[in-house]
Amino acid sequence: MTGQIQVESCSGVHMDDNAAIRINVGGFKKRLQSDTLSRFPETRLARLLHCQSKESILELCDDYDDAEKEFYFDRNPALFPYVLNFYNTGRLHVMAELCIFSFSQEIEYWGINEFFIDSCCSGAYHCRKMDQDREDWDDRSDEGSTTSSFDELLEFYNDATKFDKQFFGSARRRIWLMLDNPGYSIPSRIISILSILVVLGSIATMCMNSMSEFTLTDSQGQPTEDPRFETVEHFGIGWFTLELVARFIVAPDLLHFFDHPLNVIDLVSILPFYLTLLINLVVESSPALANLGRVAQVLRLMRIFRILKLARHSTGLRSLGATLRNSYKEVGLLLLYLAVGVSFFSVMAYTVEKEDTEDLSTIPACWWWATVSMTTVGYGDVVPLSIPGKLTASACILAGILVVVLPITLIFNKFSLFYKRQRQLEIAMRSCNFDEGIKEVPSVNLRNYYAHKVKSLMASLSNMSRSSPSEQSLNESIH
C-alpha cells in the first residue's frame, strides 16, 4: 500500500500554495496542487493542507506515508474522478448510471455539498434521490410487516411444537390445523365452507324474521318466531358451539386461548343466545322480573356479530382488522380534520343562513349539515337557500373531499401491506408438514428480512451524516 507510518512529527505537512500533495484513493494515485484545493477550504482534501500533526492527518484520511508524503483513502476509486472534476471546474456532474445513494454518501465524505451539482444534472439527481427516499419509506413501512410476519410464523411453529409433549399430540395437532387454518387440507376446506354457509344462513334468517311476510302470531295475538327460522337458529348455535368447544379442547395453550381475537369473536357470537335462554327461564320463574325481557330483545340483536366469524375464513377481513388496529394515528388525523372542518363550516352556514332557513337556525343543527356535506353523503334533508349559503356549501364539499382523501390514502397503503403479509403468512403456514414430526423450522425469506434491517440502518446513518459540522460550515461559506 503506502508503507509504514513514521512516529515522528509531521510538521512538514503544511505546504505553500504552489506545492502539490499526493493522493491515493483505493489504488488510484493523483498529484493535486494546493492552490486548486484551497479554492474549497471546507472540503476534506483542503483541510489536509492545514494539518500540523500526524493525529490531525489521520482524522481526515485512513493512512499516511511520511516518506512518500502520500495520503491514503480507503474509498471507491471509480467515484473519485467526479471529485477531481469538481476541484478543476467547481461543479459536480452526475452520470445516469451512478447509484444515487452511493454518490450522495461519497460527496458527503469528501465534504462537497449538493449545491455544487450543475444545473444540467441537478433536476435528475434530486428526482432520483426523492424516489430513493420514497423507496426507503416503503421499506420502513414494509419492515414492520415483514417482522410481524416472521414473528407470527415463529409463534405458529412454537404452538405446533407444544403438541409433542401432550397426550395424543399428533392427533390433536392434526385437528388443530384443520380447524384453525382454512385451506390447510381438503377436510379443513370443507369445514370452512360449511361454517361460512351456516353464518350466512343465520344472518339471513335473522333478517327474514324481521319482515312482516314471515311474522307469525300465537293464539293471543302476540308475535312469535317461525319454527323454520328457529330450527335454523338452533342448528347454527349448535354448530358454532361445537366449533368453539373443539378448538378449545385441541388448543396448544388453554390458558391463552381467548387471547386470540378470533376466538373471542366465536364466544361473542354464541353468548347472546345462551344469555337470552337464561333470562327467559328467570322471567318465567319470576314474573316480577318481566323487564328483563327487554334485555333479551337487545341480546337477540347482537346476533349480527356473527358476521365477524367470516374473518376466520377471509384474508381481506383479517387484513382490514389489522389495518384499523395499526392505523389509529391516521384515523385520529381524519377525525381531527373533520372536526375542524365541521366546526368552521357550521359557523359559516349559521351566519349566512340563520335568517333564511329554519333548519340551520342553530349551530348544533349546522353540525349535522356540515358533517353530511364534508363526508360527501348529502342526504338533502337540510339545504342552504341563499347564494352565500350555497357558496359555503360548495366550499364545504370541496374541503371535505380533500380532508377525507389524504388520510384514506395512508390507510389504504397500510391495508395493502397487511394484505400482502397475510397472504404470505398463509402460504407459509400451509407449506408446513407436521405428519412426521417437527424436524426443522419452516422456510422464511431471511434475506429480505435482513435486507430491510440493513437498509433502515444505512438510512439512519445517512440522515446523521447530512448534518455534519463540515457541511454546515460549507453552507455558511456558500451564503
> Which CATH number fits the domain that encloses residue 213?
1.20.120.350
Q: For residue 466, what are the contacts with CB-CB under 8 A and spacing of at least 6?
A: 108
Residue 294 sits in the same domain as residue 331: no
**How large is the C-alpha radius of gyration of the chain?**
36
- Residue 477 counted as domain residue: no
Q: Is residue 469 part of a domain?
A: no
Residue 138 lies in a domain: no
**123 is written with which cell numbers?**
433536476
Beta strands in 157-308 (DSSP E): 216-217, 223-224
Contacts of 17 (CB under 8 A, 6+ apart): 34, 35, 38
Query: Residue 384 carries which DSSP code?
Result: -
Q: Which amino acid is at 27?
A: G
333 plus 402 within the same structural domain: yes
Cell of 22: 499526493
Question: At 3, is the pLDDT very low, low, confident or very high (cuts 50, 70, 90)?
Answer: very low
195 and 289 within one domain: yes
| Mean pLDDT score, 117-141 | 66
pLDDT tens string 133-189: 555 544 444 444 444 455 666 666 677 777 777 777 778 888 887 887 777 778 888
Is residue 52 scored above 60 in pLDDT? yes
Grid cell digits, residue 199: 353464518
Domain span including residue 390:
318-433
Q: Would you place residue 474 in the very low, low, confident or very high pLDDT band (cuts 50, 70, 90)?
A: very low
Looking at the fold, whether 379 and 249 belong to one and the same domain comes out as no
Mean pLDDT of the 30-35 span: 85
Q: Which residue has the higher pLDDT, 455 or 187?
A: 187
Number of separate domains in the chain: 3
Q: Is the pLDDT of residue 6 over 50?
A: no
Q: Where a domain ends, among 294, 313, 332?
A: 313
pLDDT in tens, 385-444: 888 888 988 898 898 888 887 778 778 887 887 787 777 777 766 666 655 544 444 444
- For residues 326 and 414, the answer to whether their CB atoms sit within 8 Å is yes
Give the residue-averaged pLDDT of 270-298: 73
Q: Does residue 307 share a domain with residue 358?
A: no
d(CA 65, CA 6): 7
Q: Measuring CA to CA, how many Å separate 374 from each of 186, 214, 332, 333, 334? A: 49, 40, 16, 15, 12
Clarify whether residues 309 and 326 are in a common domain: no
Specify whether 309 is located in the same domain as 423.
no
Residue 21 backbone phi and psi in degrees, to 5: -115, 155
Residues 215 and 91 both lie in one domain: no
- Domain check: are 278 and 368 in the same one? no
* CA distances in angstroms from 333 to 141, 339, 416, listed in the order given: 18, 10, 20
> Tell me, what CATH number does 123's domain have?
3.30.710.10
Write the DSSP symbol of residue 63. Answer: E
Report pTM: 0.52
Residues 239 and 282 occupy one common structural domain: yes
| Owner of C-alpha cell 391516521 | 330
Percent of the chain past pLDDT 90, that is, above it, reads 1
320, pLDDT greater than 70: yes
Angle of CA points 327, 333, 336, to nearest 5°: 140
Indicate whether 307 belongs to any domain: yes
